[in-house]
């Protein structure tokens, strides 16, 4: 599309590695065409509503976010191949990660710890991650390609908590 002069908004992830991304960026620059990586769920009206609720202080100061994304798709052919981006990290992790980033206003993390399960083909099937911020806030994120997770999020604040059943992931949309 870029070589044909068409603007491209690429749903996560733009490339499977840095080399792929640079190649796409080079083509876009050469053709003076707009190229952007995006997560389509961020365009849902629910995010505008959620931002207003968070800004209202209803749950107080946010101290933790817990978010999951999981669906039974490990048997889908693409999900069996690392070369095709068939990994929990490439396919699902972006949704809880972008949600936490949204809630915490894109603050830079202080520390990150993650664990997962990698199968015999080198494809990661699951991931659990804890992210801490300088302010003491934490995000606990979990994804899996062999189990249907609730695909929800919980925002915990000093005045209460809020369960988010918005379609923040593809699986709920």
Same domain, 125 and 149: yes
pTM value is 0.82
Question: How does pLDDT run across 119-157, given as a tens digit for each residue?
Answer: 888 888 889 999 999 999 999 999 888 888 878 899 999
Let me know whether 84 and 167 are in one domain.
yes
Q: Quick: pLDDT tens for 29-71.
A: 999 999 998 887 788 888 888 889 899 999 999 999 999 988 8
Q: What is the pLDDT of residue 171?
A: 47
CATH number, domain of 117, equals 3.30.360.10
Asked whether residue 23 carries a pLDDT value surpassing 80, the answer given is yes
Which residues constitute the domain of residue 16? 2-38
**The pair of three-digit structure tokens given for residue 160, joined into one six-digit string:** 């209460």
pLDDT at 7: 93
Clarify whether residues 84 and 161 are in a common domain.
yes
88 in Cβ contact with 145 (< 8 Å) = yes
Tokens 């995006």 sit at which residue? Answer: 38
Residues 86 and 131 in one domain: yes
Q: Are residues 99 and 19 in the same domain?
A: no
Count structural domains, the chain: 2
* CA dist., res. 129 & res. 72, Å (int): 20
Task: Report strand pairing: 138-144 vs 62-70.
Answer: parallel
């Amino acid at each position: 599309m870029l070589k044909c002069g068409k603007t491209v908004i690429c749903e996560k992830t733009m490339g499977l590695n840095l080399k792929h991304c640079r190649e796409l960026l080079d083509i876009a620059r050469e053709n003076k065409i707009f190229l952007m990586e995006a997560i389509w769920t961020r365009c849902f009206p629910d995010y505008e509503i959620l931002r207003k609720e968070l800004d209202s202080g209803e749950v107080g100061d946010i101290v933790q976010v817990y978010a999951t994304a999981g669906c039974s798709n490990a048997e889908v052919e693409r999900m069996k191949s690392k070369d095709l981006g068939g990994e929990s990290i490439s396919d699902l992790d972006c949704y809880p990660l972008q949600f936490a980033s949204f809630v915490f206003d894109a603050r830079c993390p202080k520390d990150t710890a993650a664990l997962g399960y990698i199968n015999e083909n080198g494809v990661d099937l699951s991931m659990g991650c804890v992210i801490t911020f300088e302010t003491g806030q934490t995000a606990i994120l979990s994804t899996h390609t062999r189990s249907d997770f609730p695909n929800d999020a919980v925002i915990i604040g000093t005045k209460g908590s809020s369960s988010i059943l918005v379609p923040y992931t593809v699986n709920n949309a």
